Structure 1
Amino acid sequence: MLEGAADPGLYDFSPYRGRKPFAWPGDKKVAVWVSPNLEYYEIDPPANPHRKSWAKPHPDVVGYAHRDHANRVGHWRMAEVMSKHGFPGSVSLSVALCQHHPDVVADANARGWEFFSHGIYNTRYSYGMDEAQERAIIEDSIRTVREATGQTIRGWLAPALTHTPRTLDLIAEYGLDYTCDLYHDDQPQRVKTASGDLISMPYSLEVNDHYGFFIYNMSPREYARTLIRQFERLADEPSGTVMCIPLHSYLIGQPHRIGAFEEVLRHIAADGRAWITRSGDIADAWRAVQTGEAA
């Protein structure tokens, strides 16, 4: 048999069948969290150590203007619908937004949303960064979010989902609790790093609105039906599942899409099996189960 690449050893293999069941607070079957990606799209991002971010012509006027709809219009439309149906946000934040559009960050904070870092700009890849550069991004994220919101970030979603071999070790070293960059499970899982354990928080590419509309070419109604099917299946399974709904408000906040999304929130809120919560609360509840401290 030919040998493949070495297993990175980030987590243990744990087959879904046969896991010990557990319940979320309130004896709920599935933890549901919504993750708005609040971002700032640079019109002409600088080159990173390896290549220009985004393989597009630049300056990218179309991309910049399209995504600016998020901060001018889409966020407010999306946030109002979420608040109306009792869904807090767990914000994947491009930290530079605190400088460019502080009103958006302040609004999310006033709604009681949680913030975790999505890097400084989503247009700046981590690939090829040296350790000092990567540490500077983490330190900037912690400091800037604390100054803007009073919160200390607990989670990480790498900018444009890009990493170096040391990324997970570094975020654990800086005291973060969870990573959203591993899409390997429907329950939280332990991640092993050189700096201690992290929690792998179930995020999603499959039901991410970017994938739904740009990759799978779904209509708003098709995307809504997909979210409902995702929820129903996870709620029907034995226990301890997590459903993340990752959003970009320049997509979901468009007038022709927001109504279908609101139907999804209404359906989940009325079902009774969902613990509608934030990512940090899921991390705390899962850790309590693992240590035997759950109520």
Structure 2
Amino acid sequence: MKEALDVYEYWPYEGRPRIRWPGGARVAFWVAPNVEYYEIDPPPNPHRKPWPHPHPSVPGYGIRDYGNRVGHHRQMALLDKYGIKGSVSLSVAVCEHHPELIAACVDRGWEIFNHGIYNTRYTYGLSEDQERAMIRDALETIHRHTGQACAGYLAPALSHSEHTLDLFAEVGREMFGDDGGLYTCDLFHDDQPTPIRTRSGLRFLSVPYSLEMNDTIVYTVNKVEPRHYATMLKRHFDRLYQEGAESGTVMCIPTHNYQISCPHRIRAFEEALEYITGHSDVWVTTGRDIARYYLEHYYDTALADIAAKQTTTTAAGG
């Protein structure tokens, strides 16, 4: 049995090669709206139930439908106000069910990345060929509706297999060359981008995406009140901004249009956006652009530093 994820090395935060973001920014800041589609009666998966209630789960389905009917537009207007281009973590079935939502994102120059087909269909139990077909279907759908080469991945409902990252990198490069299959948000293990090992040797990254700042975790799991969420986001930023003076950090706010965009919560989100974008040395960007910049400027240096530290550790232990 594996004792750790076999996709990256232990690489201590302290003493890494210095990162400088464009314009000397301390923090690369991005917002990842999860735009999802939940089936009210999806095919059963023996590994996980999609709804906590017996069928039909009207409350769960209804609030998520509210997100796509009302919340998405409310959040989109707020991001427009602060000059933020979202990086949409997309259940790609939305392209077929609500194409107008995707058209509005594309019109604004937002990034669209892969979050599976439906958020009620999981990776658990799929064969490698089935998972590859699911990923290819999603990337083809995104490209057909947006013209974009999909660069990023967040597994549907955070469900993974041992091959997920390998498959996304492989399919993305097969379809789009160096523009596709660049990064994952699925690892939650760092405050800077980090190289990820793939079986095919493709250049691939983890881009920080914080579960602790994710509005669903905050509101549904940890039961935090909106005013405290605003404080959390500002304190999270303050620490990353402080450390970013030495080496650039990444802050992501993952959102859901049925959570953050409820009328009683939206002001807390706006307060945080106003605070963060009020700092001049913050790079307000997208997940794709963070990945591209790091791959061009720091990836090779990072690999060399990781290898050197592994060699030193091995020699010390030998």
Same fold (TM > 0.5) = yes
What stretches of structure 1 of length at least 5 have no aligned partner?
Answer: none
Q: 1:165 aligns with which of 149, 162, 166?
A: 162
2:199 maps to: 194
- Residues 43 and 12 of structure 1: CA distance in aligned 2, closer, same or farther (over 3 Å): same
1:17 maps to: 14
Q: Secondary structure at the match of 1:221?
A: helix
State how far apart, in whole Å, the 2-side matches of 1:31 and 1:213 are: 25
Give yes or no for contact 1:36–1:90 (8 Å, CA) kept in 2: yes
State how far apart, in whole Å, the 1-side matches of 2:263 and 2:299 are: 45
Give the alignment's TM-score, normalised by structure 2: 0.88
- Residues 125 and 292 of structure 1: CA distance in aligned 2, closer, same or farther (over 3 Å): closer
Give yes or no for contact 1:53–1:125 (8 Å, CA) kept in 2: no
2:217 maps to: 211
- 1:36-185 mapped onto 2 (5 Å cutoff): 36-48=33-45, 50-174=47-171, 175=173, 176-185=181-190
Which letter maps to 1:272?
A: S
How many positions carry a matched residue from both structures? Answer: 290
State how far apart, in whole Å, the 2-side matches of 1:286 and 1:73 are: 36
Deviating more after overlay: 57-66 vs 153-162: 57-66
The offset of 1:292, in angstroms, is: 7.3
Identity, in percent, stands at: 53
Give the alignment's TM-score, normalised by structure 1: 0.94
The offset of 1:8, in angstroms, is: 3.7
RMSD: 1.5
State how far apart, in whole Å, the 2-side matches of 1:34 and 1:282 are: 12
Which letter maps to 1:64?
A: Y
Q: Secondary structure at the match of 2:254?
A: strand
Establish whether residue 286 from structure 1 lines up as the match of residue 288 from structure 2.
no
Q: 1:31 aligns with which of 28, 46, 53?
A: 28
Q: 2:285 aligns with which of 277, 283, 291?
A: 277
The offset of 1:260, in angstroms, is: 1.6
State how far apart, in whole Å, the 2-side matches of 1:61 and 1:16 are: 45
What stretches of structure 2 of length at least 5 have no aligned partner?
Answer: 174-180, 302-318
Which letter maps to 2:95?
A: C
Establish whether residue 263 from structure 1 lines up as the match of residue 260 from structure 2.
no
Q: 1:252 aligns with which of 246, 256, 260?
A: 260
Which letter maps to 1:105?
A: I
Which letter maps to 1:282?
A: I
1:233 maps to: 239
Which letter maps to 2:120?
A: T
CA deviation profile, 1:31-82 (whole Å, cap 9, x unmatched): 0000000011111111136444344322211111111111110000011011
State how far apart, in whole Å, the 2-side matches of 1:279 and 1:151 are: 14
State how far apart, in whole Å, the 2-side matches of 1:291 and 1:118 are: 25
The offset of 1:192, in angstroms, is: 0.4
